[in-house]
Amino acid sequence: MINDEQAVEIFKALSNQIRVNILQMLKEPDNNFSPQAHVIKEKGFDGGVCVSDIHSKVGLSQSTTSQYLYILLQSGLVEMKRIGQWTYYRRNEETIKQFEKYIGLKI
């Protein structure tokens, strides 16, 4: 279950529209990104999207995109996996569900 400290980090991560947009795009990766060939070969990380594809979609510098993804990762809203030389991100649905429950209990 999400505690108050974790919730604050999630709220901080969600305080930026681009980070919210990234989460929304990652909700339906097949509709928002090209097929992820390396993830298909590596079982167990379905829905993962290469950081370069995310970068292309958001239209920010690569360093800013990476910083935003790191903030989302630190908050627990996304998961990351390196496959070869590529880094992939996907939503952490378990944390998102726990956060939804947390909000429901607090509001």
Rounded-to-integer distance, Cα 62 and Cα 85, Å: 16
Summarised one tens digit per residue, pLDDT across range 28-87 is: 999 999 888 776 666 678 889 999 999 999 999 999 999 999 999 999 999 999 988 889
Summarised one tens digit per residue, pLDDT across range 59-75 is: 999 999 999 999 999 99
Answering whether pTM is above 0.85, one says yes
Which two structure tokens, joined as six digits, stand for 83? 């496959």
Show the CA angle centred on residue 19, arms to residues 89 and 7, nearest 5°: 90
